[in-house]
A and B are shown apart, each in its own frame.
Chain A
Amino acid sequence: MAEKSEVVNFMDYKLTADKVNVWYGNFHALKDISMRIRPNTVTALIGPSGCGKSTFLRLLNRMNDYIEGFRMEGHILIDEKNIYAKRVRVEELRKEVGMVFQKPNPFPKSIYDNVVYGLTIRNVRDKKTLDEACENSLKQAALWDEVKDDLKKSALALSGGQQQRLCIARTLAVKPTIILMDEPASALDPISTAKIEELINELKKYYTIIIVTHNMQQAGRISDRTAFFYLGLLIEYDTTANIFTNPKEEKTQSYITGRFG
């Protein structure tokens, strides 16, 4: 859905999706999605299962590329660069665009090794660089105080909430500018969820965050703008306050008030 202003300065936007269509084989998963996202904001993608929101999220770091039958038309620009251009190296893109998944997925390694994993596979060997990256990332992910005395401990010994913050730290270590989150708190208890939400609010000072969530109140609490997807269409995209107080589309209202179907 295009925004109202006629003159668009793409410099103002971190990310632009322009008439994006996606197919998985014959299934038309995303239909003509156009969306612009400003830097240092949190954008929530909401909608029922199968509406296309996760497909859209995964497009942003090209995670759909290897899905059988995947086909895409349209453009996705990050900092005005087309991320589906031939010369783009997917590994580089994923460094720029980090992802946090629904279930915490630490590697069966130490806390330290988990955080610096993205650097070591890029052949960073300097101990001081790695130490600094580890400390900074864990601090940014609000986990440092809880683990600083035992960085050699297995990541699998951490609680679910800590594991998720560890995964966020691992994402931060490679210095992305965009962080994608796919229901990052849905497997966590309310306290861990609150910590993740607080963290998201802190991280948006430095990163642009796009989050898929099924929790309406969470979208309300943490996001600046909300996009509602349904049957592969972007039904409504507006400030979160507008979406939750006075949505323009009947479908949006039905969905957020729990009257869908």
Chain B
Amino acid sequence: MSQIDNPVQNLKHDLEDMFQLVTTQLTKAKEALTKFDKDLAREVVQMEKRVNGRELHIDRAAENFIALYAPVAIDLRFVLAVLKINNNLERIGDIAEGITKYIIEKKELFDAKLMEESNILPMYEAAVKMLTDAKTAFEKEDTLIARKIFKSDEYLDHINIEAIRTITDGLKNDPARIEDALYIISVIRKLERIGDQVKNIAEEIIFYIEAKVLKHAERK
């Protein structure tokens, strides 16, 4: 084992912890949404501080690694990817917190029919699955898993578009549900943004392992 492997491993573990923390935030927010559990929602808001603290810690560790080890080639790509993924994860943490804030704000249960019709829960599951896949891809340095994430993101985009149409149609018949509809659409929008963030993470994993830049490129 060479001198540089230690800080690389430490950074990797730190980022894996960050993945875990953010995944927990996201699944707790999902549970809070499903069960309309305001206490759990508040817990997510509280834990967001810890996510931010982790982000700063990893930023600093990456900065130290660059300054002290002057990494090149795969080590350099690794640390660049860590910095960006760290930022993406922190954003996902923000989004999870944003979702729980809706739950705290809202006075009554979400309209069950709208929840059902909008496909919000399957979409939420898909978003969580994307994030856990990204974690696995990062841990195992597996670009095959990373590439599958792009397909899932398309699924999220699809549900997002469909949900808006379904809900708008539903509202024409029953305008009283407008508040619920707005909340649900807002959550769906947030889930769609999580998809984008995880997609960025997948691109960074591929960049670091294969040295291929997928950003802004057409994927097939």
Contact = CB atoms under 8 A, between A and B. Distances in A.
Interface string B65-82: 000001111111100000
A217 interface: yes
Given A245-B211, A258-B4, A253 B76 contact: no
Given A258-B2, A258-B4, A259-B2, A247 B70 contact: no
B3 interface: yes
B141 to A, nearest CB: 14
A244 interface: yes
B4 A216 contact: no
A257 interface: yes
Contact of A253 (B2, B4, B70, B74): B74
B74 to A, nearest CB: 6
B3 A244 contact: no
Contacts of B5: 259
A221 to B, nearest CB: 11
B73 A245 contact: yes
A247 B77 CA distance: 12
B176 to A, nearest CB: 59
Interface string A233-261: 00000000000111100001100111100
Contacts of B4: 257-259
Interface of A (DSSP majority class): helix
Interface in B204-220: 211
A216 B72 contact: yes
A257 B70 contact: no
Nearest to B4: A258
A219 to B, nearest CB: 10
Contacts of B72: 216, 220, 244-245, 256-257
Contacts of A220: 72
A256 B73 CA distance: 8
A256 B74 CA distance: 10
A256 B4 CA distance: 11
B105 to A, nearest CB: 47
A257 B71 CA distance: 7
Interface of B: 2-5, 70-77, 211
Given A256-B72, A259-B4, 6 more contacts: A217-B70, A252-B73, A253-B73, A256-B73, A257-B71, A258-B3
Interface of A: 216-217, 220, 244-247, 252-253, 256-259
13 contacts: A216-B72, A245-B72, A245-B73, A245-B76, A245-B77, A246-B73, A246-B211, A247-B73, A253-B74, A257-B2, A257-B4, A257-B75, A259-B4
